[in-house]
A and B are shown apart, each in its own frame.
Chain A
Amino acid sequence: MFNPTNCLILSILLFAIGAYGVIAKRNILIMLMSVEIMLNAANLAFLTFARLYNDPTAHVFVLMNMAVAAAEVAVGLALLICVFRHKKSVDSTKLNLLKW
Chain B
Amino acid sequence: MTDTIFMVFAVMSIASAIAVVTWRNPVHCVLALIASFAGVAGLFYLLSAPFIAVMQIIIYAGAIIVLFLFVIMLLNLKKNEMGGDAPVQDRLFTVFLCVITVIILSIPVVATFTGTFYDQYKKTFPKPDANLGITETIGQEIFSAHALAFELISILIIAALIGAIYLAKKRQRG
Contact = CB atoms under 8 A, between A and B. Distances in A.
**Chains A and B share a contact (CB less than 8 Å):** yes
Given A50-B49, A73-B67, A33 B30 contact: yes
A77 B68 contact: yes
A77 B47 contact: no
B156 A82 contact: no
Contacts of B82: 27, 89-91
A96 interface: no
Interface in B37-51: 37, 40, 43-44, 46-49, 51
Given A16-B98, A90-B77, A25 B10 contact: no
B49 A78 contact: no
Contacts of A7: 43, 47
Contact of B98 (A20, A32, A69, A80): A20
Interface residues of A, number: 72
A79 B156 CA distance: 17
Given A17-B17, A25-B83, A68-B156, A47 B44 contact: yes
Interface string B124-166: 0100110011000110011001100110010011011101111
Contact of A25 (B67, B72, B85, B129): B85
Contacts of B6: 6
B47 A60 contact: no
Contacts of B156: 67-68, 71
Contacts of A9: 106, 109-110
B83 A26 contact: yes
A10 to B, nearest CB: 5
Interface in A1-47: 1-10, 12-21, 23-30, 32-34, 36-37, 40, 43-44, 47
Contacts of B72: 29
B117 to A, nearest CB: 10
B141 to A, nearest CB: 5
Contact of B86 (A1, A18, A23, A77): A23
Given A8-B113, A19-B101, A74 B161 contact: yes
18 contacts: A7-B43, A15-B105, A17-B20, A20-B94, A34-B20, A36-B60, A37-B33, A44-B44, A48-B47, A57-B145, A60-B141, A63-B142, A69-B64, A71-B161, A80-B75, A81-B74, A82-B168, A91-B84
